[in-house]
């Protein structure tokens, strides 16, 4: 039976080397605040995950155990992103790159006995169409990288295999906060698009873009 009061988990990341202010964390909080106001009946939870190989997945597991979300939307930043980038899969790989506390991943993969890839369970194609219809730049991607964004997506999708929840990852440009020239997404567009992503996951009808 369909849950008419689903729990929605929205996450972003905290600071990490080179990015003392992480746009994904601010966007996650802003989208969650707006979703709580605009989507009656939806239980919204938000968290800023530490950009750490150990603590990040641990906190996600704690959130899953506490809230059992029907939908989880994770935001992160990517220098390659010009608008919203909807990640379609996670890879079982972990780059030898230091996290926010200077630690390296325990090994070269995320789960030694896990599958090589896991596919997003969000309606990626539907999200893409709705974002473009809203006038917000968006694209699909098959490569979430090999850093913490990919790791969180992999762990989240592993959880989705157990509870059939809808989970996925969205990259946004780091220049979202300062209007860098190559960034095609402004803050208003990011906020409107973030809410539209949530609406698409919930199966709500398309909304017109509103400036805040």
Task: Give the pLDDT band of residue 180 (cuts 50, 70, 90).
Answer: low
What percentage of the chain reaches a pLDDT higher than 90? 82
Contact call for residues 176 and 136 (beta carbons, < 8 A): no
User: For this structure, is 87 an active site residue?
Assistant: yes
Per mean pLDDT, which range of 2-11, 88-97, 183-192, 194-203 is the poorest? 2-11
Average pLDDT estimate for 163-180: 87
Q: What digits encode the pLDDT tens for the residues 159-170?
A: 999 998 999 999
- Whose tokens are 């930043």? That residue is 77
d(CA 52, CA 48): 12
Give the length of the chain: 212
Task: Give the pLDDT band of residue 119 (cuts 50, 70, 90).
Answer: very high
User: For this structure, is 149 an active site residue?
Assistant: yes
d(CA 75, CA 179): 18
Q: What digits encode the pLDDT tens for the residues 53-92?
A: 999 999 999 999 999 999 999 999 999 999 999 999 999 9
What's residue 111's pLDDT?
96
Instruction: Tell me the domain boundaries of the chain.
Output: 7-202
d(CA 22, CA 51): 10
Q: Is residue 26 over pLDDT 50?
A: yes
User: For this structure, is 183 an active site residue?
Assistant: no
CATH architecture of 7-202: 3-Layer(aba) Sandwich (3.40)
What's residue 20's pLDDT?
87
Q: Virtual CA dihedral for 109, 77, 87, 160, nearest 10 degrees?
A: 60
Which one of the listed residues 149, 183, 196, 201 is annotated catalytic? 149
Partner residues linked to 167 by β-bridges: 72
Which one of the listed residues 87, 88, 155, 196 is annotated catalytic? 87
Which one of the listed residues 42, 74, 88, 171 is annotated catalytic? 171
What is the number of other CB atoms lying within 10 angstroms of the CB of residue 43? 15
């Amino acid at each position: 039976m369909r849950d008419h009061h689903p729990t929605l988990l929205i996450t972003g990341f905290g600071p990490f080397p080179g990015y003392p202010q992480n746009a994904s964390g601010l966007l996650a909080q802003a989208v969650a605040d707006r979703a709580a106001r605009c989507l009656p009946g939806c239980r919204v939870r938000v968290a800023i995950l530490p950009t750490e190989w150990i603590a990040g997945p641990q906190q996600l597991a704690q959130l899953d155990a506490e809230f059992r979300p029907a939908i989880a939307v994770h935001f992160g930043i990517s220098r390659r992103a010009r608008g919203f980038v909807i990640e379609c899969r996670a890879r079982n790989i972990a780059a030898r790159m230091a996290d926010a506390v200077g630690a390296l991943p325990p090994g070269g993969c995320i789960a030694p006995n896990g599958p090589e890839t896991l596919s997003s369970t969000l309606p990626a194609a539907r999200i893409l169409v709705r974002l473009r219809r809203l006038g917000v730049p968006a694209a699909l991607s098959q490569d979430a990288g090999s850093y913490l964004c990919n790791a969180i997506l992999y762990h989240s999708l592993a959880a989705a295999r157990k509870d059939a929840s809808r989970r996925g990852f969205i990259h946004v440009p780091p220049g979202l906060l300062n209007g860098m020239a190559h960034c095609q997404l402004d803050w208003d567009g990011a906020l409107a698009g973030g809410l539209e992503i949530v609406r698409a996951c919930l199966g709500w009808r398309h909304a017109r873009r509103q400036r805040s």
